[in-house]
Amino acid sequence: MSRIGKALIKLPAGVDVQVSPSNLVTVKGPKGELTQQLMEDISLKIEDGNILMNRPTDQKRHKALHGLYRSLVNNMVTGVTTGYIKRQELVGVGFKATAENNILDLTLGYSHHIYFEIPKELKVKTEQDKGKNPIITLEGIDKQLIGQVAAKIRSLRAPEPYKGKGIKFVGESLRRKAGKTASK
């Protein structure tokens, strides 16, 4: 079993954590505020500038939730202090991306444009340098939301294994296939 739940979460300066009696955790920091509802079995204590998560028993379910909630609270603390950034690259001839008022306009080789609405909690930027692939940058404080939106954008045109065309994360290595001519 993972021992992630036992690790302490260090609170940086300027971050305030509140726990309501109904186990609702609110984290406020310089970049914003996030909330997360904890299960009633898992408790959270703040002592000496650290957050400590506790579980009632060593049941498999409690161990799993212990690590999960510790990771979620840690992601909240990191989000309100530094934030998160996901960058995606559009690989393909004629692939384009423009962003205006949190609406992403994508040209991905289909017969039509795809208009994708980005949640208001996130900021989206696009870069299109001559001779380079267009890049979409998502910024925000909620790691779950950024990951979900990035996965949804990627699903519009997932990279294919032969030429690598599609939307991929910057720095992601794709497993490429050789094609028909390799068998001869």
pLDDT digits 0-9 by tens, 137-149: 999 999 999 999 9
pLDDT greater than 70 at residue 59 = yes
Distance (Å, rounded) from C-alpha 46 to C-alpha 125? 37
Q: Please report which confidence band the pLDDT of residue 183 belongs to, taking 50, 70 and 90 as the band edges.
A: low
Average pLDDT over residues 98-121: 94
**Which of helix, strand or coil describes residue 30?**
coil
With CA atoms as reference, report the closest residue to 98 among 121, 118, 125: 125
Distance (Å, rounded) from C-alpha 181 to C-alpha 184? 6
Domains located in the chain, CATH noted: 4-81 (3.90.930.12), 84-169 (3.90.930.12)
Q: Please report which confidence band the pLDDT of residue 1 belongs to, taking 50, 70 and 90 as the band edges.
A: very low
Q: Which residues lie below 8 Å from residue 123, measured CB to CB, with a gap of 6+?
A: 102, 138, 139, 140
Beta-sheet strand order (sheet of 135-140): 123-127, 135-140, 84-91, 166-169
Distance (Å, rounded) from C-alpha 162 to C-alpha 184? 17
DSSP helix, strand, coil percent of the chain (3-state; round to 5): 25, 35, 40
- Specify the pTM: 0.89
pLDDT greater than 50 at residue 120 = yes
